[in-house]
């Protein structure tokens, strides 16, 4: 059932845009989502230099300058793959200064079957000389305020965005997330929820694979999640679900080292 629900939200579509941030406390029913709503506000050039747009309609982040971390459901099987184009270095996908590099290989999380383990790596034909986004290796940062950015749909069923958008959403505990209709299958320790009880701010179609990140103790960006699934976009009592990066940090590092 959950796999069907995923198709309602994050799965790669020709879109790209909504975003998120997490507060230090679980979301209460009294909380109202702040402006802006789904679609967020436009990111400034260079604000999130690690952001990558993938040609199949997903997002991603530079794990290294030659490897993109994205969602498993965005790619096919592990193996050689030269069909994906990664666009980076710009907030405007039509900018003449955009950097575009083809893929050479895809590594999909072992055992991925549509539920959990939603991560993958894409090796590029050449490095992109831009800052990378480090990933969380412990659960220390799996709370608080998260930022999400992407070129996905700015409304449920909407179309791809030309410009990179950003937004913020609050952390939702596993227990609270599971209490919502359709979220009973949430996989603890593999998935993390974020969103407002009232809805209004969320990731959406085309944001799949993009990073959910926050500041660490040194005030540097650190990735804690990967846009995975959810029911609709920005609906009340329907938070976004993200792959819990820290759970897979060792596996990601090992896989990357072998690419």
Residues 148 and 237 occupy one common structural domain: yes
Selected residue with higher pLDDT from 23 and 244: 244
Residues 103 and 172 occupy one common structural domain: no
- Whole-number Å distance between alpha carbons of 164 and 43: 6
Nearest CA to 237 among 48, 33, 73? 33
Return the SS3 of 245.
helix
Average pLDDT (234-255) is 97
* 187-199 confidence digits (pLDDT tens): 999 999 999 999 9
* 4-54 confidence digits (pLDDT tens): 445 444 554 433 333 332 222 233 333 333 322 365 899 999 999 999 999
* Per-residue model confidence (pLDDT) at position 11: 56
Cβ contacts of 156 within 8 Å, gap of 6 or more: 38, 204, 205, 232, 233, 234, 235
Residues 241 and 138 occupy one common structural domain: yes
* 212-226 confidence digits (pLDDT tens): 999 999 999 999 999
* 104-157 confidence digits (pLDDT tens): 999 999 999 999 999 999 999 999 999 999 999 999 999 999 999 999 988 888
Catalytic residue among 118, 202, 207, 228: 118
Structure tokens at 75: 């790619």
Nearest CA to 126 among 96, 92, 99, 101? 101
Catalytic residue among 23, 103, 208, 228: 208
Question: What percent of the chain has pLDDT above 70?
Answer: 85
Question: What percent of the chain has pLDDT above 90?
Answer: 78
Residues 145 and 226 occupy one common structural domain: yes
Residues 150 and 238 occupy one common structural domain: yes
Selected residue with higher pLDDT from 147 and 158: 147
118 an active-site residue?
yes
Judged by average pLDDT, the poorest of 55-59, 109-113, 202-206 is 202-206
Please state the domain count of the chain.
2
Residues 226 and 106 occupy one common structural domain: no
Burial class (CB in 10 A: 0-12, 13-18, 19+), 250: exposed
208 an active-site residue?
yes
The CATH number of residue 60's host domain is: 2.40.10.10
73 an active-site residue?
yes
Residues 146 and 202 occupy one common structural domain: yes
Residues 34 and 138 occupy one common structural domain: yes
Mean pLDDT of the chain: 87
Structural domain span for residue 211: 2-45+134-246
Measured CA angle at 229 (ends 34, 111), to 5 deg:
150
Residues 141 and 230 occupy one common structural domain: yes
Catalytic residue among 73, 103, 202, 246: 73
Residues 95 and 157 occupy one common structural domain: no
Residues 120 and 141 occupy one common structural domain: no
Residues 87 and 16 occupy one common structural domain: no
* 83-94 confidence digits (pLDDT tens): 999 999 999 999
């Amino acid at each position: 059932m959950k796999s069907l629900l995923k198709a309602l939200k994050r799965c790669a579509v020709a879109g790209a845009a909504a975003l998120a941030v997490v507060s230090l406390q679980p979301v209460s029913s009294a909380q109202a989502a702040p402006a802006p709503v789904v679609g967020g506000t436009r990111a400034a050039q260079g604000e999130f230099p690690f952001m990558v747009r993938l040609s199949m309609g997903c997002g991603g982040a530079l794990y290294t300058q030659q490897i993109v971390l994205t969602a498993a459901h965005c790619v096919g099987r592990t193996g050689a793959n030269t069909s994906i184009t990664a666009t980076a270095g710009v907030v405007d996908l039509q900018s003449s200064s955009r950097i575009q590099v083809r893929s050479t290989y895809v590594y999909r999380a072992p055992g991925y079957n549509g539920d959990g383990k939603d991560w993958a790596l894409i090796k590029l034909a050449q490095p992109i000389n831009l800052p990378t986004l480090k990933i969380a290796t412990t659960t220390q940062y799996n709370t608080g305020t998260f930022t999400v950015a992407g070129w996905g749909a700015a409304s449920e069923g909407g179309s791809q965005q030309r410009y990179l958008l950003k937004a913020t959403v609050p952390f939702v505990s596993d227990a609270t997330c599971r209490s919502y209709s359709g979220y009973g299958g949430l996989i603890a320790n593999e998935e993390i929820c974020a969103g407002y009880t009232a809805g209004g701010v969320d990731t959406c179609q085309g944001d799949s694979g993009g990073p959910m990140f926050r500041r660490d103790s040194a005030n540097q960006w650190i990735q804690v999640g990967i846009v995975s699934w959810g029911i609709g976009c920005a609906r009340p009592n329907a938070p976004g679900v993200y792959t819990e990066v820290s759970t897979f940090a060792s596996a990601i590092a090992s896989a990357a080292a072998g690419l």
